[in-house]
Every structure is written in C-alpha cells, then in structure tokens.
Structure 1
Amino acid sequence: MAVGGVTLLGHGRLGSAITEGWRLAGIAFDPAILTRQSPPGCPPGTRTLVIAVKPAAWREAVTPLEATLPADATVLSVMAGVRAADIAAVLPGRPVVRVMPTTAVAQAQGVAAIWSADAGARAQAHSLFDPIADTVDLEEEGLIDAATAVAGSAPAFFYALAQALAEAGSEAGLSPDAASRLTRGALRSAGAGAGTDAGLDDLIARIASPGGTTRAGLDALEAAGLDATARSAVQAAIRRAQALAGDQPA
C-alpha cells in the first residue's frame, strides 16, 4: 500500500508506535517527522499533517505550521481532549479528523476510534489506520472522550489488574517471577479470545463454569465492586479529557 505526503508532528510514545505500525503493515512511505529540533514549517508536498504532540503543548507546536501547510491538506489529530474546532481555528480551512488509537498499533494490532465532519478526511484516516488497527467510526465528536477511556486508556487498566493479580499470586505462595509470567500469559490468552468474534459474555462463560473456581473468583470481584470501579475509571478519564479541552476545571 502506498501513501504519500504524510508529515508527523511529534515522535513520542504514540507517534513512534504509529510509524512502527505503518512500517510493519508494509505501507510504502517514509513520513516526514517534525520535532522541536526540526526546521520550522511543513515539508513541501505535505498532504496530511498528523498531530501527535502532548495536548498541553499543541498550540505552540502547531501554530508555526499554518503558513507552510497547504490549504487543502488534511489535519489528523491523535491528541486526547483537543477539539476539532480548536485545531481548525489555528489551521483554518483544512479538514480535521480526530483519531484515538491504542499503542498496539505498533504491532498492527491496535484499535482506533475515528471522527470527522468531513468525509474525505475520515477516508484518509481509514487509509492510514485500517492496516494497523480495528477502526471504529463515531457518530459525534463528543464520543471521542468515552472511546479514549474504554480503548486508549483501558490497556493500562488491564495491566493494572494483571499486576494486582500477580501480587495476589505472590501472596498465595507463588514466586514473584512465576506469578508475573503466569499472569502475563493469562493476559495473552485473554487477548487471543478477544481476537475472535465471540461476545464477551460467551468468552466469560467458556471459562467460568457454574460452581467452579473461576466463577468463585468472579463473584468475589463483583462483590468488591468491579462494575463500579470500571465506571469510575471511565468517568475519571472522560473528565480529564474534558478538562484538557477546557470544558470544565482540571
């Protein structure tokens, strides 16, 4: 697959993951990468500007590019909490598309939520992210924050639960190394199941036999407030994204 004219602004953790995924997926191009050390301005021929800088510093990074970014270029943001209208105000006239990918795009196994009011910009986002992620179109921009919470942030939530399980395994007598390896293996097993078309309820039922050990553990998690904890995590992530956008106090 050949894609041309892509300029990536910012090459931190997410920007690096995206470029790694593109190369792994065989997308035949080398994106121009702009960092603080780069000469000011967009390279000639830029057709898509991918903004992957930290949300707190985006205006400082993006504003100097307005004069050299072609008027018909697509602006693709992977920043949490930065609204399309704010980006469009700094880069007027260019269509804006927001994409929220997970860092597993580096292995071409990510998931990415996509929203844009412009059909062409949305199509460009699909051309760049379909090869490296399971892409999900959102009906309205306001849903981006929820998508960020349940996808972009959720891998860290899963890792935190795995870490807690490993610690519980150590307390139950396993060595720290054995507990860590077993828990990471369980996480990979869960990921294999998630890669199928089976529903989540079905995946749980395949493991949790009535009256068995897994069912007992699930009952304990539910009694400890698993649902409430998940809701709290999602709502906290949404509130933080809204605060970054200036919708409410940080």
Structure 2
Amino acid sequence: MNNVHILFIGAGRMAEAIFSGILTHQPEIMITVSNQSNSAHLDLLQSNYPIQTTSSWTEVIDQVDVILLACPPGAHSEVLQKMSLLLKKGQLVVTVAAGIGPSKLEAALPKGTPVAWLMPNTAADVGKSMSIYAYGSAITDTHRNIFEKVVSAIGPSEELSEEQVHNLTAVTGSAPAFLYSFVEALEQTATKYGLTAEQARKLVIEMVIGSAAMLAKHRDPAKLREQVTSPGGATAAGLTSLANDQFSDSIIRAIHATNARAKELGS
C-alpha cells in the first residue's frame, strides 16, 4: 500500500489537479504522467512536481498498479484498445472522463479487469474535490483500499451506481463552473457601482468564501438563506427577482444540458 504507483494517461488541467492533491496529501504515492503530444508541457510539470513523465505510456504500463485515464472521452476507444493488449492481471483501470462508465471500460478490456469511474472536480488541487465514483464488477477489497486512498487525498467522496454518476456529474463536477460564472456576474455588477475590478473581486470572492464556511459549519442552505432574508426586506426582493427569472429552473436546465452532452461525448 505504501508503494502505490499511478500512471496518468493525459496531462491536462484535471490530471494536474488530481495528482497535485495526491502529492500533497499522500506523498508516498508514485506518479507517472504521460502526454504524447506535448513534451514541453511534460517538462513543465516535471519541474513543478516530484513526478516521472513519459511520452509513451505503453512503455511503462507494466510498472504501475493503477492506470488513470485523464484523456478526453473521444480518445478512450483507441487508448483502451492498446491497453487491452498490455494490461497485467490485477491492474486497476480508472477513468475520469464524462460519459465513460465502468460498463464501457469492462466491455473494452479483458474479462476480469478491475475498473472504476471517478468524477472529481478541479478542487482536487486543494484537497477539496467532492468526488463521486462507481466500481466495476471485478473490484476486490485490495483495489477498493488503493482507490479510496487515492480519492481521500483529493477530498470527500461518495460511492454511487453507474447511472447515478452519469446523472450527478453535472452537480459535483460541472456545477463549480456555474458558481464561478455567478461570481463573475457579481463582480461585473459591483464594478458598475464605482469599484475597481480588484476591489470587486475581493468583495465577491471573500463573500463566497465566508458563505461556504457557513455551509460547512451548519450544512443547511435553506436555514442559512432564511437567516439572511428578512420578510419584506431588501434580500427578499432580490430573491423574488431571481424567482421571477426562473433561477432554480435555469439551474435544473443547465444540469440536464450538461448530462445530455456528457452522454453524447461518451457514446
């Protein structure tokens, strides 16, 4: 367990967020990162992190315990086809790609290959990703222990069914982008009242950080909303405006649109 070695196939933002979190919280885990098309980026990553890098994952796959697919959904078919010829018995294959569940991994890999589907978000970089995941049918307790060790390094997590991961990836994985968009809108509004961009950013981000701390402490968004909202007051007027603009329904539609696109990408 102390010598787990993970091969990342793909070196984009999500891969970096995950292995950055792992190295911070589980520094004994060995990391190798592969990127076939951008050697300069690999050199940059190696200068910033205590990792190994390679432009040819096929040459090192036999040396690792876990293969983490951080490549785009559309690249999975080719990668899995190559991998199926090279896997050793017992190696755990994990994907973080939207729309690529355990059933698709199992269909493409040798029978009995242990697989898992992990859907984190970029807060893995600071050990705060709320990750959801689903296992394939060949997972053993040993694989669970390794997988949960890795996931715990990047934040809290919840095991779900494959279908639930399909439907809830938008809530845990994509919704941070919705929150950041909300923050941008607040910043833009603040500048219209005479603040500089820097002042607006400080005001809004610190408000969000404080609100998140309250959520972390009290775990009850409805109660917290009520505490801020006096009947007939200014906040109530703002909430009424959001309701009139179908704020909640708009979020729900965004979740559905995200899920639909994720399934298209994974098909």
- Do the two structures share a fold, i.e. TM-score over 0.5? yes
Match of 1:65 in 2: 83
Match of 1:192 in 2: 213
Q: Within 5 Å, which residues of 2 pair with 1:39-54?
A: 40-54=58-72
* Alpha-carbon distance in structure 1 between the residues aligned to 2:68 and 2:97: 10
Report sequence identity in percent: 25
Q: Within 5 Å, which residues of 2 pair with 1:125-136?
A: 125-136=147-158
* Alpha-carbon distance in structure 2 between the residues aligned to 1:243 and 1:43: 29
* Alpha-carbon distance in structure 2 between the residues aligned to 1:88 and 1:15: 22
1:83 corresponds, among 91, 101, 125, to 101
Match of 2:41 in 1: none
TM-score (norm 2): 0.84
Match of 1:96 in 2: 115
Tell me, yes or no, if structure 1 residue 211 matches structure 2 residue 229.
no
**Stretches of 4+ aligned residues off by more than 6 angstroms:** none
Asked if structure 2 preserves the Cα contact closer than 8 Å seen for 1:3 and 1:27, the reply is no
Q: Within 5 Å, which residues of 2 pair with 1:160-199?
A: 160-199=181-220
TM-score (norm 1): 0.90
Please give the secondary structure, in 2, of the residue aligned with 1:165: helix
Tell me, yes or no, if structure 1 residue 105 matches structure 2 residue 127.
no
Cα distance per residue 1:87-137 (max 9 Å; x no partner): 222222311111100110111111100111445344432221113211011
Pick closer, same or farther for the CA change 1:186–1:34 going to 2, 3 Å: same
Which amino acid in structure 2 is aligned with residue 52 of structure 1? Answer: A
Match of 2:18 in 1: 18
Please give the secondary structure, in 1, of the residue aligned with 2:146: helix
Let me know the Cα RMSD of the aligned residues: 1.9
Asked if structure 1 preserves the Cα contact closer than 8 Å seen for 2:18 and 2:122, the reply is yes
Asked if structure 2 preserves the Cα contact closer than 8 Å seen for 1:78 and 1:101, the reply is yes
Match of 1:155 in 2: 176
Asked if structure 2 preserves the Cα contact closer than 8 Å seen for 1:6 and 1:46, the reply is yes
* Alpha-carbon distance in structure 1 between the residues aligned to 2:59 and 2:168: 32
Asked if structure 1 preserves the Cα contact closer than 8 Å seen for 2:9 and 2:57, the reply is no
* Alpha-carbon distance in structure 2 between the residues aligned to 1:39 and 1:53: 12
Which amino acid in structure 2 is aligned with residue 44 of structure 1? Answer: D
Please give the secondary structure, in 2, of the residue aligned with 1:196: helix
Extract unaligned runs of 5+ from structure 2: 37-54
Asked if structure 2 preserves the Cα contact closer than 8 Å seen for 1:7 and 1:31, the reply is yes
Which amino acid in structure 1 is aligned with residue 14 of structure 2? Answer: L
